[in-house]
Structure 1
Amino acid sequence: MTDTSPDGWVRTDRDGAVLTVTLDRPEQLNAQTPATWAALRRVADTLDDDVRVVVVRGEGRAFSAGLDRSLFSTGEGSGTLGELAAMPEGLAQERIRSYQQGFRWLRSPGIVSVAAVQGHAIGAGAQLALACDLRIFTEDAQLRLPEVTLGLVPDLTGTSNLVDLVGYGRALEMCLTGRAVGASEARAIGIANLVVPLDDLDGAVADLVAALLAPSAGASRATAELIRSAVHNDHEEQDEAERVAQVRRIADLVSGR
């Protein structure tokens, strides 16, 4: 099954328990617009209980080079900085919240999301990769959050996800300098789970997806939920979460579910 959303340049392909979401604007290095984020948000509405893995990709030689340059206009075009600046503050914040929803669902309970990153992952592209649970980089991949150099801030869920992955100090340095992080460094600091040659990307993604699907859905989902909660829970809270999850899993195993 294939569904294409021309206005957002987002394509989805479903193969059993795996949903692949592809940014499909290769001639513009998969530059993103508000239509892209709306299309991503709509993908979340298509999820059902049978989807276990979501793979996020970019068509062509780049994962995503970030915002479409037209959005930096101070004029009144749709989605531009000028349009946001002209809105009442509360309305502008609500607009950005709707954009963030296109990213935050990638850590929804019940799914594991995997970003397959080649070439540039800049700005909104970097934040889309960071929004996923896991990331495979090609050797030529570079991740960069240059918003501060443009007088802006990362606002598409990137700051919390980056701090969770690399810690406060590294996240602060990366965001305040806007420098590029190459694939080998991304692996060393915990952003990339795996780095492979470009020609091996498809195979590496397929191998990871197969490994993620191998355990039972119930155990996998319960474990993923525990790992996510462990990032922010204190030890007592996390110990309780483990107890609750394990009692439920034992009951399910005994009952044959």
Structure 2
Amino acid sequence: MTSLDPVHDKDGVRLTVEDAVATVTLTNPAKRNAQSPALWRALSEAGRSLPGSVRVVVLRGEGLSFSAGLDRQAFTPEGFDGEPTFLDLARESDEALDAAIAGYQEGFTWLRRNDIVSIAAVQGHAIGAGFQLALACDLRVVTPDVQFAMRETGLGIVPDLTGTHPLVGLVGYARALEICATGRFVQAAEAERTGLANLVVDADELDASVKDLAAALLAAPRDAVIETKALLAGAAGRTFDEQRAAERASQARRLRDLAGLAD
């Protein structure tokens, strides 16, 4: 069994690994796991620190909230120490501004890698950047007190941490627009009904339920899960005939691998 000593622990993000399961924990419950550029960099580093043996990543937050979103300090004239303020970013060239936002997004994109399945264990508030972090994961297990909301539009900005694509994929364009434009709360029953949540469980069952789900995901051969995830993740961007062809190519690889004929 792999040691549970932290592989990575800084700026509100802790990574531990036990066998094929990695757990990424947001560790600032006093601020409801509010997010900052430093936290986004720490998330990116956690992704780069994953051992190759990891197949499932569990993302969770300490305390009563998964993540209440962007730290309000970001909206002050001073911003965060050592970080560009929103005004500083706005004064940058188009290329520099694009690169800065792309760097922030890296903390979210690695959770969609085909070689892992990511699970968000979500309790309490998942607001703005917190909602987008939950959406960055493949699966979401939530508690009855969960409150998802996309508040960026009300602040005069847009959701830019990779959340718009999965949100539309899960609930459709019209509902996604309504959720983002109004900033309203989506609670557990609606989340489960619309596909935002795979499972709703009592708070005292959250950790055990996520552990059971991870075990079920690990029961299938790794390469079969990787191929299946890639097929499903790309399906929306393919025509029916293109998807059929992708299925054939994927199955051919699997059969050759099982027969010991893979390159």
TM-score over 0.5 (shorter chain): yes
Partner of 1:197: 202
d(CA) in 2 for partners of 1:256, 1:234: 30
In the TM superposition, residue 76 of structure 1 has moved relative to its aligned partner by 6.3
Secondary structure in structure 2 of the residue aligned to 1:184: helix
Q: Equivalent residue for 1:31?
A: 34
Aligned match of 1:50? 53
1:233 counterpart (238, 243, 249): 238
Residue 151 (str. 1) matches residue 156 (str. 2): yes
Indicate whether 1:108 and 2:109 are aligned.
Answer: no
- 1:67-94 Cα distance to aligned partner (Å, 9 max, x none): 1111112346514312212322321111
Q: CA deviation at 1:141?
A: 0.5
Deviations 1:18-42 (A, max 9, x none): 1100010000000010001001111
Classify 1:90/1:73 alpha carbon distance in 2 versus 1 (closer, same or farther; 3 Å): farther
Corresponding position of 2:21: 18
Q: Tell me how far apart the structure 2 counterparts of residues 146 and 51 of structure 1 sit (CA, whole Å).
A: 33
**2:51 & 2:6 partners in 1: Cα distance?**
16
Deviates more, 1:229-238 or 1:152-161: 229-238
Secondary structure at the aligned position of 2:34 is classed as coil
Partner of 2:192: 187
Question: Partner amino acid for 2:250?
Answer: A
Point out where structure 1 has 5 or more consecutive residues left out of the alignment.
Answer: none
Q: What's the CA shift string for 1:224-250, capped at 9, x where partnerless?
A: 111111122111111111000101101
| Residues 8 and 46, structure 2, Cα contact 8 Å, conserved in 1 | no
1:135 aligned onto 2:140: yes
Query: 1:125 corresponds to which letter in structure 2?
Result: G
TM-score, with structure 2 as normaliser: 0.94
Task: Give, as a single letter, the amino acid of the residue that structure 2 aligns with 1:239.
Answer: R
Letter in 2 for 1:36: L
Gaps of 5+ in 2: none
The one-letter amino acid paired with 1:166 is V
Q: Secondary structure at the match of 2:114?
A: coil
- State whether residues 123 and 154 of structure 1, in contact with CA within 8 Å, keep that contact through their aligned partners in structure 2: yes
Quick one: which of 2, 6, 24 aligns to 1:2?
6
Q: How far off is 1:5 after superposition?
A: 3.0
CA root-mean-square deviation: 1.4
Aligned partner of 2:172 in structure 1 is: 167
What code does the residue aligned with 1:129 have?
A
Q: Aligned equivalents of 1:148 and 1:31: distance in 2?
A: 18
Q: Is the 8 A contact 1:135 1:194 kept in 2?
A: yes
Check the 8 A contact 1:13/1:19 in 2, yes or no. Answer: yes
- The normalised TM-score by structure 1 is 0.96
Q: Which residue type is aligned with residue 88 of structure 2?
A: E
In 2, Cα distance between equivalents of 1:139 and 1:52: 28
1:21-100 pair list within 5 angstroms:
21-75=24-78, 77=80, 78-100=83-105
Indicate how the Cα distance of structure 1 residues 93 and 247 shifts in structure 2: closer, same or farther if over 3 A, else same: same
SS in 1 for 2:160: coil
C-alpha distance in 1, partners of 2:8/2:45? 12
Q: Residue deviations 1:189-216, cap 9 Å, x none?
A: 0100000111110111011001000011
Q: Report % sequence identity.
A: 51
SS where residue 201 of structure 1 aligns?
helix
SS at match of 2:141: strand
CA distance in structure 1 between the partners assigned to 2:85 and 2:184 by the alignment: 25
Cα distance in 2, alignment partners of residues 79 and 3 from structure 1: 29
